[in-house]
Every structure is written in structure tokens, then in C-alpha cells.
Amino acid sequence: MGHSKFQFDQLAGQRGNLVQYARKITGDRDNAEEVVQEAYVRFGEMATRQSPDNPGGYLELIAEIGLPHRRLLSSKLG
């Protein structure tokens, strides 16, 4: 638990960077905030089942969540 807690705290400290990264994917600040929040929830759920070895994979999770938001936004605008 301590190891996972450290990783989560480390990621929480990077929230601003994660939101910027997600904004590049979603194209919108509000959607980026939602994407990061959803990624934190999913990360927390996963961390209760296993000790995450790759917190950097968290960014991949954001991309995975963010792409559908981007497609939805594009379809609404197009």
C-alpha cells in the first residue's frame, strides 16, 4: 500500500502537467479536466488490485480516455 500511495501522491503532484497533456489530446480544457479526473479514478481502482509498476503508463491511460472525447468534440464541430 505504501508504494502505491507514493506513486499516487507523485502523480497527484503532476496534475497540472497531466491536464496540459490531456488538453492536447482533447482540444478543450474542460474535457481535459474530466479526462484527468476519470484517469485518477481508474488509476485508484487499479492500484487497489495491484501495485502499479509504471506510473508513466498513467499518461497512456489519459490518452486512452481522451481520444473518445476528442472524436466526440470533432463530430459535434464537423
Over 50: is that where the pLDDT of 61 sits? yes
| pLDDT on residue 6 | 56
Q: Residue 8: name the closest of 35, 46, 34 by CA.
A: 46
Domain range list for the chain = 2-77
> pLDDT, tens digit, for every residue of 3-58?
556 566 777 788 888 888 888 888 889 988 888 888 888 877 877 777 767 766 77
With left for phi above 0 and alpha for psi between -120 and 50, is residue 37 left, alpha or beta?
Answer: alpha
Residue 4's pLDDT is what? 55
Judge contact between 55 and 11, C-beta under 8 A. Answer: yes
Collect all residues with Cβ–Cβ distance below 8 Å to 3 and sequence separation of at least 6.
51
pLDDT score at 77? 64
